[in-house]
Structure 1
Amino acid sequence: MANIKLENIKKRFGNETVIHEVNIDIQDGEFVILVGPSGCGKSTLLRMIAGLESVSGGDVSIGGRVVNDMPPKARDIAMVFQSYALYPHMTVAENMGFSLKISKVDKAIIDEKVNNAADILNLGPLLKRHPRELSGGQRQRVAMGRAIVRDPQVFLFDEPLSNLDAKLRVSMRTEIKELHQRLKTTTVYVTHDQIEAMTMADRIVVLHQGYVQQMGTPLELYDRPANLFVASFMGSPGMNLIHGRPGQDGQFEVQGGGQLPLGELDTSSSPAEAVYGIRPEDITLADEGVPVKVVSVEPTGAEIHVVAILGDHHITMVFRERHDVHPGETIHLAIDLAKVHLFDAESGERIAWHPVTRAA
């Protein structure tokens, strides 16, 4: 096992810079997820750790060694790709042990390592099968087993669940997290799925256009997003982001009409234009409060998602209760000011503020 340190990492393709001075410190045994939309640079960053992409600037260190000029095989890492990349003519056992075989490891040791990995991943009954005889989830476990037998310092996962159906992704998330808890191997995992990131990571790195937007635990990013991008990306349904301006009467003037409770704010230091953020689950119904007109009601089983209009904005609410609301109806909302987020509309950065009243 080993720590990973990225210091001022840059990556250029021709004249275009796609990674901009990224600094990330991953502790020994930590499970860190790189998350962001397509094209944000997360897979490129992972490939630079693996040695599959060269570094245009800065240093990549694994276990205290700068590995910029080391080939992948010398970095003591194992990578699991989105594609299973299994050899179709080989059995499961042969696929899992192939890297050790070409390294001329003794057959008895290979068999021992393959059997140990098979026990961890519940692949024992499948060792004599070929990939064509396996389901998608079983193939992905074989790809993971191929990485485990190498006993690396670092596991690298590049969107390994993207090819699986939704139900299987959920079970495989649990399996990968249990695997990490058992092996305690430093792991870097890339995904575009923020639910995967929230449920699996010790810490999350949010990337956008080659820049690190924020790094922290899942709940740190969810409860205190550093900027508008993190606020909008983390969470499903996403945070309600409502444009307007802080008033001097403890209200937020919503663009297009209407008001939301804000509490006292130092208007001398606050921006003229701001974005008011509130998570869908932090809104409740009240007899008196903010009036909004219901647009749609979406029962999901465990929850009810309600979308309503306030000014120029749609507001999404998530209720666990079975509220009897209907499209076209006017309802009133109560908002806990302790759960409100405020952002500068121009820079997108979070504004520090402390409401006097906790509910409205």
Structure 2
Amino acid sequence: MVLRASLLTCGICQVLISPDSLTGVEKYRTVLTLENVPEDVLEFRWYRGTDNSTGNMIFSYTPPNTRYPGPLYSGRENVTRTGSLVIRQSALNDTGYYTAEVGTSNGTQRATGWLEILKLRNNPGISANASANGSVLVEGMDSVAARCLTNSSNIKWYVNLVPTSGSNRITISPDGKTLDIHRVSRYDHSLQCAIEDFPEILQRSEEIPLTVAYGPDYVSLWTQPDVFDGVLTAAIGSSVQLECTCFSRPEPRYHWIHNGSLLSVSEENMTLPSLKWEQMGIYRCIVENTETQLAFYREVTIQPPRPQPTVHREFYISGSLVIFLIILASLGSAYICGMLVYSLFILCSRR
């Protein structure tokens, strides 16, 4: 559709309808803007057509707040305080000439312009290669090629509803119609394209959802009691809990191995409510993602507490204390001997 706009003025009128506002879009608001409006405006009148006959009047506005609808008022028109004509929910039959009349204390000025209401293109379509259509993509390995199905040249691309212009991982063709994602990421959730043939009017395609498999990442083994240097110490009869955690899409498969033998447990948690001697040993948790074909494991060794060693206490006397005790014993012996000699002497004297 060819855009046609013409501006007719009467005499040497200074007021005019902005050429940029003489194009509208069906079902959107259209604003016919006046330029070079005098400051001493007494009244704004808008007419359908090129003359100002009463039967053609759409709306009259007298500042500051007097509004009067005319015979051609459809209920969708209004006039702003600056004199612009606003048409809500524009229709194709709104196309035609519009005349603005501006009354001032110095007289009346008129401006006429041709308004054309255009019909939007159909929303663009979007397609993607087979790997993106319902299939599971593998992070860091698979790629996606999407194409925007439109004849428009003003195309925008959105990844996760966020505009993108390309990156070291995403490239867009020179004509804007093709987007390639090299090595998809777990953060790629959807693709969408849009066209913007008219400013601020985006026509979006449907979204293409992306399902990206990743992991398992950050595999860890949580235990109760706690592990120290890969060893869990627990007494016979005590309770032991083991839990595998990781980041993975889809949910991974869990396998538990005890001393080289596969256990029947297929969940991330395993509990030993009353530890037995035969349950001691090495436990390995294997986490497997069937889509990415990756598997990782963590392991822990359960062992009983070590017996406490017997402590033999020895009596120790320093050398100086030994000398002191020897001297003390010698003095004590001399004292005792002296007392015995003295007693014998007294006994013999009495006889």
TM-score scaled by structure 2?
Answer: 0.19
Higher strand share: 2
Larger Rg: 2
**Structure of greater relative contact order (alpha carbons < 8 Å, 6+ residues apart):** 1
**Structure with a larger share of its residues in helix:** 1
